[in-house]
Each structure stands twice: as C-alpha cells, then as structure tokens.
Structure 1
Amino acid sequence: MAKETIIIRIDHLLPTSRLCNIQFTVQPDLFVPLWRAVVDVTDGRLWEHEDVKAEVAGSIENKRNWLRHMLFPEPSDGVLQIMLPKGAFEHNWADKDLNYQQMKAVDSIITRNYGTIPFLISGVPGSGKTKTVVECTLQLLHQNDKIKPHILLCAPSNPAADTLAMRLAKHLQPHEMFRLNGWSRTFAEVPDQLLPYTHSENDLFSMPEFKTMMSYKVVVTTCMDAHILVRARLSNQDVMKLGFEMFSSISPGIKPNPRDMLHWTALIVDEAAQATEPMVCIPLSVVATPLCVKENDDSSNTKSSLPLFIMAGDEHQLGPRVSNANTAFSVSLFERLFSLPIYADHPLSRRNAGPYKKLTQEMLPIPRPAFTNLTRNYRSHTSILAMPSVLFYSDTLIPSATPAHPDGPVPSWPVWKAPHRWPILFTCNTSPDDVEEILHSPAGSGLFNQGEALKALRFVQSLLDHSNSLSYPSNAATLTLKTTPMRPITQQEIAVITPFLTQVTHLRRLFRDHNLHSVNIGPVEAFQGLESRFLIICTTRTRAEMRFIQQDQSFGLGLVGERRRFNMAMTRAKEGLIVIGNPDVLVGVSKDESWRAFLSFCARNGCWDVDESSEDAGVKMWAWADMLAGHRRRGRGNVNGYGNRGGSGSGSGSGNENGNGNGSGNGSGNGNGNGNGNGVAAHAENYEEEDDIRLQGYVSRLERGLLYAQSAKEGYDGVSGPVDGENSGDATGRHYLKGGRCGQEKGKGYLGKEWNTVDDYDAAMWTAGIAAEEVLRGSLDD
C-alpha cells in the first residue's frame, strides 16, 4: 500500500468555526478511457453507411466480428496443419542472435497461417520476449503486402514502452517511429535518446499534425495512452470512415473497397500479462476493423484487410496490479486467452508437450499453434532455474546463460555449501518479526525483522570482502573458457528484496549505516522485469501461526501462498541466490507446496545453512528429519543406507523402532562401501518416511542434468562410487542421482526412474549442447 501526503491550502477559512468542505473527485483520465474501450469493443461502434452495410460485422456477438475472434477465439477459428514444417526460415533477420524458438515465433506471425486469432508469445523469465517482439516488428515492416504497414506497439507501463522504443531506435529513424507520450509525462522521465522520436508543444508532449502522424510506420505508447489515438479519431474505423466519405464526396460514382483502407495493420502488446483486460481493449479498439471476417477469404486478402493481434508475456509471473485480487480484473487478457481450449488443449502446448515432445507425422492433422513457448533462459544459473522450471513451466526451461567464470567472486564464494557448491542457499532464520507502530506505517505493511536484516547485511559484506580479496586478470581477452570475464562484483549488482515495505525501510537504513549505499533494496513487485547478479530474498515473516499468514494474505503481502510472487522473486538472480526464512512458516504451518519443493531441493543438495551458534539451530529438530547431514536421524540409519565418508553406496539401510539401521553395498573407493548408522531412539517412534523433506516436492530435469554433469566431471564409472571415494556417504543427497551409486536396488534412487547413461535424454542434452538438444526436441509446429 502506498502512503502519500496531501497538503491542502484554504484561503478563506472562517476564523470562528475553522470548518471547510473538501471534495476529492475521481480523475476521469484514469477511468473514462477504460470504460469507453469496453463499450467500443462490446458494441462494435456500428458503421451505418449504406454502401458498406453488408461488410460490417456489427456487435461482438456476431460470429464474424473481428473483435470476437480476438477476444473469444474458438477452435473452429484456427487452421489445420496437414504437413510437417520445412524446418528452415528464409528471412533476413535483423538480429542474428535469435534462437530457434524466437525465429519460429516471428516466422509464424509474418506468414499468418494460423487463422484469424491472437498470436501469443509465452516467454519464461530472461527468455528474450522483448527481443522477439522487436524482431517481429521489423519483419512486419518489410512485408510486401498491398497495404503499407503501420504498427501500434504497446506496453502496460512507460518504462516498458521506452525499452521497446530504444531497441527499435537502433533500426528506425525519427521519421519512421513515433514515441507517443501522455501530456502529463515530464521531459525528465523520457530517456534522452528517445526525445527526437517525440513531439511537444508548449512544453507538453503532444501529437504532430494529421499527415505526419499518419506517415509513421511504428507508434510506441502505453496501453492507457493509446486512448489519445481514439480521441484524435485515428482508429482504423475512423480512418476508414474518413476515407470512404472523401471518396463519396469527390467521386460519388466510385465505390472504393473498404478492405483496402486499413491503416493500422498490427497491434503488438509486450508484457501483456501485467495489463488488465480493459487496459488492452484501449489499443485493441484503435486497430479493430469494423469489417467482418470472411470464412472463405483467400490468404492474400486476409493479410491486407485484417490486422494482426500479437501479445507477449508470462502468465506465471505477477499479473495486473488491482486493489481487489478476487475479481476478474486480476486475470489479464493474455492469461485468459491461454486458458481457452484453442491454446490450452493444443497437443504442443507447454503442459501437453513437456520438454521432449515433438511434432510427428502421426500427430497430423492438428491445428496450427497460434502460440510459441520460449523456453531458453539467458539469465540464471541452472540451479536457480531448477525449481521454477518444474513448478511453473512443465519442466521445460533450458538454461542458456553464459556461465560465470569459476574463479569469479560469486562462484568461488566460500559460503556456498559442499558437496556441489551450487550458487543457491536457503538460510534459516527464527529471529522474531515485529510490527512497527501504526502511526509510522500503513496498516498491514509494518512488519520487519531486524535479525533477518543483519543476516542479509553479513552476506553482502562477506561477498564484497571476498570479491575485493581476489586478483583479476588485466586482459579479459586471454580468457579461453566459454564464460563471462572474471570481474569483481559491485554494490549495484547486488539486490535485496522483501515483500514488506517496513522491512525495506529497515534494510535500507541498516545498509546505509554501513556505507552500502548502492545496494538495490526494494519490495518484490518493484523487481518485476529486472535482474541482479546476486540476489537475497528476505521472507521476513517468522511467527509460525496461521493467523499471521492469513493476515498477510488478506493484504496481498508476503511470499507464502503467493505462487506468482514466489516465481518472480526466484527468477531475478543471475549468478547467485540466497533465501532467508523460517521453514516452520514457509512449509510447516502454511503447507505451501512451492516452498516445500524449494526446501526439498535445497535439503537434498546440501544448499542449506544454519548458524550453529544461534537459536536457528532449533530448525534442525526432529520434525525436519534427515534434512541436514548426520543430525538426529530419528530411528533411521545412514540415509537410505548411504556409505560412510570414504566409501561408495550401500544397501537399503532403513532404521527400526529402536533407532538403529545398517546397510551394505559393493561400491568401490577408498572405503569398504559398507554403511551403518544409529538413529535417535527417543524419536524413533515418531519417524515416518514422509518426514524426510528431501523426499518431498519435485525433481527437475535441470537438477538431474546438473548432477549428471558433475558426476561425469568427477569421474564416476557409472556403477560404483566416485573414484576418490570422497563424500559418497553425505546425507545431503548428493548421490540420489543414480540409485546404483547409493546401493538401492535396480538403480532407482530419489529420481524414481531407471537411469540409463546411453539413452537418457538429459545425458545427451548436457553433453552434446544446444544443437543436439534441439534435435531431440524436434521443431515445433509452424
């Protein structure tokens, strides 16, 4: 909740009563455009000219209405595919670094072979959605259609629109592209490189004259500011009416074809998942054609007479920001369309196709997909992506970021835990949270946690000290590895986020007091669309009572029970991620499945940190059985019969009621391969298999891939333990990759599947690289 100060000046206050009347009026510019757009879209703005009456579709209830096709597409509106695609693209790409999926999306859009329905680009965090939108815009400008292209490019916010405009400015001149700003926007808010692409009068942003405005090939604006075009009567319908009336007045005997009068040929909305549906209806009413969609229209006529509607976004991240999240406004048009059968039930949709399914001749005929799923992430380390991939994206994410230099400050930071030393860590915090006095903060946002803030401070100080202690090469060109150059980390590359505004204030004050003025500290929502080289997530809430969690959720605060906020926060980090929280709150009380999966991932891979000298050690009590190595096994032997340090895998090794367990195996190494362990008899009677948090949640293919790559690097022979026999008995779950290495029967481990080093898809993907992986996946439908 935002807090603002209002200063009121009263010139003629009566000295006796000192009373006055104050009236707060609704700003019409904030709501009237939304209302008008909904009315225009619903009624169709009927065109009553007699000569075109047969061509006009009428209201949105008409099945041939173009807006009906865009807002309520049906499976019958699609086009069937009967042949496999060529697999090659014959385009002159402006961006030579596009991947296959991005080129596939652009090719599908410019060929327009999927029907008269919206084309949706669903991109995971850091997948290059904006890059795809920019390339799509440039390719549409070079199409040889009968009508010259004029593209309306929108985004929910000014910063997002500025990003689009700045990328297009590298390819378009000021006479080709116009950045339309609202009159209330100040010049200081606009990047300097975009000022030549704007127009102003009397020190206010405005529009140029009609002829100049109509000459621009691309107009970039926000969804809300698109209502300026509606008020200026520059929508497709208004331009069509004007052109038809001019022909009727000048040459009454000539009846022009209204299908040749289309001005706006495409509407592209970036970050569409963050916009409410009425907000998107504003630019949609600009490009909407009043003419009906002809079912038997030929391909060339459809391209020239019907505008395109393209949206890009991520329905699994934060959606529109509305006051009441329990209303239809909280669901974006992008998300609603993706839930319709024509998209959700398609055989190649993300949930149906998964990571490996490819289009085959046996699947034909199927509807051509009017969507593309971008799955390559160019931002984060693989371990950071493992849980978001399996929880939100059907385990389809492909890590494609350039690896950080192994000797760089983040990968070499000694805080990362053995055995893997992956750059991800969950650190327990049980220091009590507190609520700031009501006079100092708005209701619901006054939660802070001083102990958590101190932990975050210590982590940042430790990382910066470690970075300053390293020696860096003077010439990065000598680098032979395929990694980023080794360079120190700066304060500006570090971010600390929390869902509570008061904790933001406390963190900022604490960091500033320690001369850390440039560390980025802010609320979770402020980092939507941003990234950071190193990230700390402070969950803040530590009181493990359901009533406090429910209170947070009623205000839309916290990270518990907020799947999209969880996903967005986890996917901001590039090289390193630390989460500070209380497991009893995140999982024990709330039963949050997303957090359970994340903690399970951290526990079985050793990415778990507890300060033994503090009360935080209490989280290792028996209720979190086998979460950490060798601590209170509670009636269980060495976990799943793992061998002792220095040996290889052992047998099943389960514990009995007296707290004893043992196991044996035939692995090689420096040890004898035998394992045995004693549980804590006091808790043996309370032991249940599901108490082991490592067995809970999901195992991502990215996690398996990391473990396979690491095992290959360290010299596993595929049957026995590691060659050096070191750490094979760790209870952190290092060797759950391949059950045979843990001594479990038939090679089944925590993965719950047979492991085959020859046929396993992950093995090929992680050893043969991107090209081989794309061959395995096969091309999607075009």
Structure 2
Amino acid sequence: MEAYDQNDTKFSVRLRRNYLWFRGYVHGVQQTNVSLGFHPSFNCPPDQRINVEFELSRTLLRRMHWAMRSAYFPRQTLFPCPGDVFVHGLAAPLEHELLQMRIVSDNRIRENAPQLQAVTAITKLPSGAIPFIVFGPPGTGKTVTLVEAILQVLHQVPWAMILVCAPSNNAADIISERLRMFLYPSQLFRLNAPSRAKDLPRALETYSLRYEDGSFMIPSLIALMQYRIVVSTCASSSLLHGVGVPHGHFTHIFVDEAGQASEPEVMIPIKLNAGPRTCIILAGDHKQLGPVIRSSVARQLGLDRSYLERLMSLPMYQAKEYRGATYVKLTKNWRSNPAIISFPNRMFYDGELEACASSSIANLCLGWKGLPNPGYPVIFQGIKGRDLRELSSPSWFNIEEASAIWYYVRDLRCDPSLGLGDQHIGVIAPYRAQVRKIRTILNVDFPDVKVGTTEEFQGDERYAIIVSTVRSSLDFVEFDLRHTLGFVANPRRFNVAMTRAKSILIIIGDPDVLGLDPLWRQFLNHIHEHGGWRGIRIPWDPTKDVFTETSERKTLPYDAQIRAKSEQDLRDLVARASATGLGVVDEEDELEADADQHWHHDE
C-alpha cells in the first residue's frame, strides 16, 4: 500500500467493510507500509479485502479562504510603496544604536554587522510600519537573528505581545526550542493543532498543553492572551482568532521560512491576527525553494510566488539605500568551505556572501585521499549510467550512481583522519525512486546516513553532502528538458542542494545530460577549472562561454533548441494520446514525479 508522506499531516482514510465505512487517519508512512488508526470497534479478518480511500484534508484551504475574506486589509502591509518608508520614518540604525544593543542569546551577533543591524532595526520598528524582511541566504544565521530579535522586542517593549509562525511544525519547533532557553512556560506557549501527531520534541512539552488522551489542548481565551510569545504554524494561527483573540492583540508577528509558504498561507496569521499597529517581520530566502502549488491554474495566476518573494521584488526591498530600513541581507556564511559556496554565491547572491566557517569545519576534508585536487573539496564524478523506472512508477532511479554513492560513503566513513559518522553525511537525490534505492543500498552498513529529496534537506546541513542527479538519457521524445533533468533544471533546487555541505560536496551525474542546462554547464566548468573533475572526460570545451536564453546570441548550440524540439514532441504526444482516447497525466505533477513535495498541512 502506498500513500503520500506529508509533513505534519494525518490524512483522513475511509475503509469499506461489509458496506460500512470507517474513517481513520494515517499515523505513519514507511517505504512499503502505512500505519492506519481507527476506532476500536473496527475489526477485520486478515484475509478480508477492504476498499481504501484517502481523503485530502481541506482544512488549510478553508483557512486560507477565511483569511483572504477577512475585512482587515492593511494596504501598507500588503502593498507597501516607497512613500511608506518616509511616512513611518524608517532608516537604518545609527552606529550608536548598534553599540548600545545588549545581546541576549548569542554574543557572536555583536561581531556580525548584518545580524546586529537586523536585530536593532526590528527592535526600533515603529508601530504599524511596512513589513521588515530578514533575507537569510544559506548558513548565514537567520534563525539566530530572529530569536535574538524576538527576545530584544520582548525585553525592550514591555507591552509587546508576539506571535511567531512558520509554514511547518518542524520549523516552528526549532524556533520554539531556541526561545525556551530564555523563557519560562508562563511566557512562551507552543500552540499545536489538536490533531497533530504526538511528535512534539520532549523539551517543548512543558510549553504546550495536552488532554489526558495525549491530544493537544487549546487554552482558554484569557490564558492565551497572558502569554508574551505564542509560536504556531501559519495554519494553526487561525485558532487564535477562532477562540476570540482580537485583531491587534499581537504587537509583532514574525514569520520564519516565509519563502516556503504561499502568500495566502502567510495571510492566515497576518489578516486574522494583526491590527493597524502590528509590526510584521518576515524571514527567509526567496532564492531557495518556494511554495508547492499543485494546481496548474493557480501557478499561472502567480500563487506559486511567496509573499516574501513578491515584496523582495519591490524597489524598497532591493535598493541598497533601503538596507537596514526595510530589509537586511545576512552575508556571513558560517556553514561552508569557501569553495562550496563560491558558485552559488556568484549566481544567486551577487557575490556578497563571506565564508566565515571555522577552519576546523571548513577545512576538515582538505587533503582527503578521495579529492582529485587535495585543496578543493568539491568533486564532480562523471558517470554514464542508466536511468530506469519501475513499471508502476513514473519516478526514475540510477543503479550505477547509487553504487558510486555507497563507495563514497564507505571511503568517508572509514577514513580515521576525518572522524565522520553516519549522522555527518547526507545524500540528496531528485527522485523518490532513487531515494529508496540508495536507502536500501546504504541501510546494511550505514543505516543512519540521511537520504532524501532536496525538499527534505532545505534548512539542513551535513559535513559531507553527496548529490545524485540520476538522469542519464538523451531521449527527448516524451519528456522535455525540464522533465528529463528533474530538479536539476530548477535553479532553486540547485541552490538548496549545493549549499547544504560544510566540508565536502560530491556530485554524481552524466555531464552529457547536465551540460544541456546553462546553469549546470557553468557549474561543471567551474569545478573542472578548479581540478575537481573525476570520471568520464568533460564532453565540451570548458573554456568557451556559456550562452543562456537571455544571451544576445540568437541560435544556441544547446538548451534552447533542444527545449523547443522537446516541447513540440510533448505536444505531439498529448495530441496522439487525445486522439486515441488515452488520458494524459499532468506534465508537472506526474511526468516529473521528482520530489517529496511537502504541502504545509497542520490537520
């Protein structure tokens, strides 16, 4: 039995036995098994066939509609304009204001100018100002900055009431665990949906309430309004409005990982809880993965663009003269070796990131015997494998790449000079089928190595990251270039996958396929130039310029021509299938089938 493994979600399930329907919930999903929970009155002989229906919870959709229908419509929050900057007197903090800031959570913030500027700017925001954004590229300490800013507001504004939200329970738990180190249970409350699975971190139990059966309890209105800080998912923040917390009770609303949530989802905490004098603070990185929108119609209408990304496209969130007044870009990367972030820094962050990781971490793998260039901890392993699919699945896997991953994991684990354990190594693959194959291969010898899709690694980090790109086919008859490359041709997934590593990054793939995409061709040229290439020879001249679709050159030697031909092939395929009466699956959701796409549910 198979089911979608969703983040923080218990799917409703209906079983039919003897013409009676029973409703239960999915409580756990493994590779080939699904754990279902039903009322004790449900009994079924082991050999009896049962009809199963999985139901999509519409709770999140209803809450988004509820929020969007709310009469509260703060123009300066939803559609800020440059004039608002001057109306509210917004300006970057002065030097003496930075020096006067007494850091509460992490003294290293004082030595980090962008973090200190962000914390100070948030603390001095006037009531009802336009949203303030903390733009946090990978490894720059966004969560540390947010936690310090929350604590500073709490200490410096005696009447402050703070709501902190994130798209998922995992993200909300992380920030709650950071905050609890400085707050009593009477000050901080972790609000959980009553139907959330019993997976709350133990450290947060005293900051939550449960019924005797273990399900989560929502305090009374009076009790809720006594907490200085309430942390919840965006979806669960509607519970506050539902029990009667009035608009404007919260003086500050923080939304972490705002780039991963759809705009209507972020509107749940804002439109249902904010008031005219509420300050809105968003934190995230719109250059990484955005919201997952299933509907092709909704995507065409722009709902796959987050609120954070929309605001960051406005002049007052881009120009450097507004930096410190409306937004702060964190630039000190504390995660990775300079060689690992060099290319993403240039392509996505205007070259502003500074490599600040400690040498004990950044240089851990320098000189390792497996490096083609002992001083360059990035490897591209060129492999001409075979991409395969199971008969019943549209997802791809590549056994040759999976085998190469086993050898790399073994060599990293067994080198005593590195001292790496399973928990220090991560493997990223774009397709669920490849994830399953790699987990199977590694399970016997290295069971605790994390293997997952790009989505599962956003916000995560490991000393060693190995990326399997999977595709090794030049057959474009039924798949255009986007589908053939899966996550590879998506710049945001590329950015996430290539910025998880601290000490060493290993990419395994077929250069003939990867080189069809301009971004990948530039990246592979970059690795080749620094001596990190291994395996089959590079099949093009790496010294030649890479032309992109935005180049002045009209005729491209690759990419655009192949894309055009492939798209025409796909249209022809759809036409043939329609003529024969065959159904054609949605090209984005089914043909690609490449990601464990988490849809942020709470119920």
TM range (shorter): 0.7 to 0.9
Q: Residue 106 of structure 1 aligns with which residue?
A: 119
1:386 aligns with 2:399: no
Tell whether 2:322 aligns with 1:322: no
Give the match's secondary structure for 1:117: coil
Cα distance in 1 for partners of 2:362, 2:338 equals 14
| 1:188-337 equivalent positions in 2, closer than 5 A | 189-203=199-213, 204-236=215-247, 262-289=248-275, 291=276, 306-324=277-295, 326-327=299-300, 328-337=302-311
State the secondary structure of the residue aligned to 1:577: strand
1:341 aligns with 2:315: yes
Residue in structure 2 matched with residue 701 of structure 1 by the alignment: none
* Whole-angstrom CA distance in 2 between matches of 1:9 and 1:82: 63
Cα distance change on mapping 1:100 and 1:19 into 2, 3 Å: closer
Larger strand proportion, structure 1 or 2? Answer: 2
Please state how far the C-alpha of 1:198 moved relative to its aligned partner: 0.6
Aligned to 1:584: 512
Deviation at 1:344, TM superposition (A): 2.7
Letter in 1 for 2:371: W
Aligned to 2:95: 86
1:83 & 1:314 partners in 2: Cα distance? 21
- Counterpart of 1:775 in structure 2 is none
Alignment RMSD, CA only? 2.9
Residue in 1 that maps onto 2:494: 566
* Alignment match of 1:542 (pick from 457, 472, 484): 472
Q: How far apart are 1:546 and its partner, in Å? A: 4.0
Aligned partner of 1:52 in structure 2 is none
Give how far 1:405 is off: 6.6
How far apart in 2 are the matches of 1:517 and 1:77? 54
Give the 5 Å matches for 1:645-660. Answer: none
Q: Distance in 1 between matches of 2:222 and 2:90?
A: 42
Q: Which amino acid aligns with 1:93?
A: I
Mapped to 2, the partners of 1:569 and 1:495 lie a distance apart of 10
Tell me, what secondary structure is at the counterpart of 1:283? helix
Q: 1:449 to 1:7 in 2, by over 3 A?
A: farther
Q: How many residues align?
A: 505
Structure 1 residues 461 and 395: CA distance shift in structure 2, 3 A: same
- For residue 37 of structure 1, what is the aligned residue in structure 2? 67
**Cα distance change of structure 1 residues 84 and 200 upon mapping to structure 2, 3 Å threshold:** closer
For residue 306 of structure 2, what is the amino acid of its counterpart?
S
Query: 1:379 corresponds to which letter in structure 2?
Result: R
Shift of 1:346: 5.0
Q: Select 2:79's aligned residue among 72, 78, 82.
A: 72
The correspondence of residues 610-689 of structure 1 with structure 2, limited to 5 A, is 610=535, 616=536, 619-620=537-538, 623-625=539-541, 627=542
Determine which of 404, 415, 422 is the counterpart of 1:466. Answer: 415
Matched to 2:184, the amino acid is Q
Q: Distance in 2 between matches of 1:431 and 1:35?
A: 47
Output the CA distance in 1 between the equivalents of 2:236 and 2:148: 23
Give the letter for the 1:329 counterpart. Answer: L
CA contact (8 A) 2:427 2:452 kept: yes
Rate the CA distance shift 1:28–1:141 in 2: closer, same or farther, 3 A: same
Q: Offset at 1:233?
A: 1.4
Offset at 1:84?
Answer: 8.9
Aligned partners of 1:78 and 1:114 also within 8 Å: no
Q: In structure 2, which of residues 163, 169, 183 is the aligned counterpart of residue 152 of structure 1?
A: 163
| Residues 493 and 25 of structure 1: CA distance in aligned 2, closer, same or farther (over 3 Å) | closer
1:26 shift after superposition: 5.6
Conserved in 2, the CA contact under 8 Å of 1:121 and 1:311?
A: yes
Separation of aligned partners in 2, 1:173 and 1:348: 37
Cα distance change of structure 1 residues 552 and 197 upon mapping to structure 2, 3 Å threshold:
same
The answer to whether the 8 A contact 1:524-1:565 is kept is yes
1:200: how far off? 1.9
Task: Give 1:697 deviation, angstroms.
Answer: 8.6
- Alignment of 1:594 onto 2:519: yes
Kept in 2, the 8 Å contact 1:114–1:370? The answer is: no
Distance 1:82 1:191 in 2: 40
| 1:25–1:488 Cα change, 3 Å | closer
Name the structure 2 match of 1:666: none
The offset of 1:600, in angstroms, is 1.3
Distance 2:482 2:490 in 1: 10
How far apart in 2 are the matches of 1:448 and 1:235? 52
Matched ranges for 1:723-762 at <5 A: none
The SS at the match of 1:281 is helix
SS of 1:536 mapped into structure 2: strand
In the alignment, is the contact (CA less than 8 A) between 1:600 and 1:696 conserved in 2? no
Q: Which residue of 1 is the match for residue 424 of structure 2?
A: 493
Flag the 1:431–1:548 CA change in 2: closer, same or farther, 3 A.
Answer: farther
CA contact (8 A) 2:14 2:53 kept: no
SS of structure 2 residue aligned to 1:425? strand
Question: Displacement, 1:576?
Answer: 0.3
Q: Relative contact order (C-alpha < 8 Å, sep 6+): which is higher?
A: 2
Q: Is the 8 A contact 1:77 1:115 kept in 2?
A: no
1:376 aligns with 2:332: yes
AA in 1 matched with 2:507 = V
> TM-score, normalised to structure 2's length?
0.78
1:454 matches 2:403: yes
Where in structure 2 are the equivalents of 1:22-33 lying within 5 Å?
27-33=57-63
**1:2 and 1:387, CA in 2 relative to 1: closer, same or farther beyond 3 A?**
farther
Corresponding position of 1:49: none
Are the counterparts in 1 of residues 164 and 254 from structure 2 also a CA contact under 8 Å? yes
Instruction: Quickly say closer, same or farther: Cα 1:601–1:697, change in 2 above 3 A.
Output: farther
Gaps spanning 5+ residues in structure 2: where? 6-10, 21-47, 549-603
Structure 1 CA distance, aligned partners of 2:195 and 2:304?
26
Distance change in 2, residues 1:118/1:399 (3 Å): same
The structural deviation recorded for 1:340 is 1.6
Does the 8 Å CA contact 1:503/1:540 hold for their aligned counterparts? yes
1:95-139 deviation line (CA, Å, top 9, x unaligned): 211111111011111112698200000011111111111111101
Q: Among 407, 417, 421, which residue is 2:372 paired with?
A: 417
Is the contact between residue 545 and residue 585 of structure 1 (CA under 8 Å) also seen in structure 2?
A: no
Is the 8 Å Cα contact of residues 92 and 325 (structure 2) preserved in structure 1?
Answer: no
| 2:22 is aligned with 1:9 | no
User: Are the structure 2 counterparts of residues 82 and 578 from structure 1 closer, same or farther at C-alpha, using a change threshold of 3 Å?
Assistant: closer
Larger Rg computed on CA atoms? 1
2:156 aligned counterpart, secondary structure: coil
Residues 16, 50 of structure 2: 8 Å contact kept: no
Q: Which amino acid aligns with 2:391?
A: E
- Following superposition, the deviation at residue 586 of structure 1 comes to 1.1
Q: Which residue is equivalent to 1:678?
A: none
Deviation at 1:330, TM superposition (A): 0.9
In the alignment, what sits opposite 2:155?
A: 142
Distance 1:530 1:159 in 2: 12
Q: CA deviation at 1:307?
A: 1.1
Aligned counterparts, 1:174-193, within 5 A: 174-187=185-198, 189-193=199-203
Question: In 1, distance between residues paired with 2:99 and 2:260?
Answer: 31
| 1:593 and 1:697 in contact (8 A); partners too | yes
Change (3 A) 1:697 1:173: farther
What amino acid sits opposite 2:57 in the alignment? Answer: Q
Corresponding position of 1:512: 443
Residue type of the partner of 2:442?
A: F
* Pair 1:536–1:115, CA change in 2 (3 A): same
Q: Structure 1's 401 and 593: CA in aligned 2 closer, same or farther, altered over 3 A? A: same
CA contact (8 A) 1:117 1:309 kept: yes
CA displacement 1:439-494 (0-9 Å, x = unmatched)? xx3xx32x111111111111111222223xx4xxxxxxxxxxxxxxxx61111211
Establish whether residue 436 from structure 1 lines up as the match of residue 390 from structure 2.
yes
Contact 1:265–1:287 (CA under 8 A) maintained in structure 2:
no
Tell whether the 8 Å contact from 1:533 to 1:575 is kept in structure 2 after alignment.
Answer: yes
How far does residue 235 in structure 1 lie from its aligned partner after superposition?
3.0
Identity of aligned residues (%): 34
For residues 132 and 124 of structure 1, the distance between their equivalents in structure 2, rounded to whole angstroms, comes to 12
- Residue type of the partner of 1:337? L
Scaled by the length of structure 1, the TM-score of the pair is: 0.61
8 Å contact kept, 1:411–1:423: yes
| Cα distance change, pair 546–8 in 1 and its aligned pair in 2 (3 A) | same
